[in-house]
Amino acid sequence: TTARRYADFAAALAWPTDEHYLVVGNEPNHGDEWHGRPNPATYARFLLDTAVALHQADPQARVFNAGFDTFTPHTGSQPFNNGLFYVDAAAFLDGMVAAEPDVFTHLDGWASHPYPIGPFAAPPEQQVFQIDRLNDAAALPINDPPPGIFNRGINSYEWELWKLAQFGVTDLPVFITETGWRHSAEGYPSPEQAALYLDWAWRGNGQHDLGWTPWSDDGRIFAVTPFALAGNPDEWWHTNWLVMNEAGTVAQTLPPFIAWQALP
């Protein structure tokens, strides 16, 4: 029923493009995004049902998974210090496939959140493979990827694609639906440095041995959406690039956007 309501809503929209891009949820391995306690099986069923309904209602629908937070620890049977439970992305993906083996075959692309480590502060070349498992989750096995594949950093989508390949799913285009650097607070870069890091992530910095793959050089990347253009200022002031007015137009450009425009 919920999947059909989403499909009816999406099909009724006046889309500005021929293809209609739809992301089903957001970071469901977070307890604060999934009713306090993540559940890979229920999200897998929700994603599958919604993808089927969207495709039936709208032939131009292009359906993506919710982007996952690869920095999230697995808290096992005990909550984190905020009283909520979390599941690391690796265990969550495994749990989805265990419940619905063909869930990812219903997708038209892969949504990814490849944030820089730090978190949200380090230069593009700093990347790492790391999975944090707490409490009784520490006993769960970890399947290490091949050398050079990282799950934290601006190319972390490569680890997600590697995981998908283990499930027999290949050739999904990647949509980076969240990424970016926080700025203007202790421990974070200045707005000018944040803009420069984003430019380096996108285009490189002119050196041959970078330590990362610029997104514009990776043919698997279809789109990149920085977070956030204009989020709730009270919550996202340290990521925002713009101030929007009630009419939905730009009222003010903030220092990171101004710095980005000034780059050659």
Q: Can you tell me the distance from the alpha carbon of 170 to that of 130, in angstroms, rounded to the nearest whole number?
A: 23
One digit per residue, the tens of pLDDT, for the chain of length 264 reads: 999 999 999 999 999 999 999 999 999 999 999 999 999 999 999 999 999 999 999 999 999 999 999 999 999 999 998 999 999 999 999 999 999 999 999 999 999 999 999 989 999 999 999 999 999 999 999 999 999 999 999 999 999 999 999 999 999 999 999 999 999 889 999 999 999 999 999 999 988 778 899 999 999 999 999 999 899 888 998 999 999 998 989 999 999 999 989 988
**Alpha carbon distances (Å) from 96 to 18, 85, 101, 174:** 31, 17, 7, 19
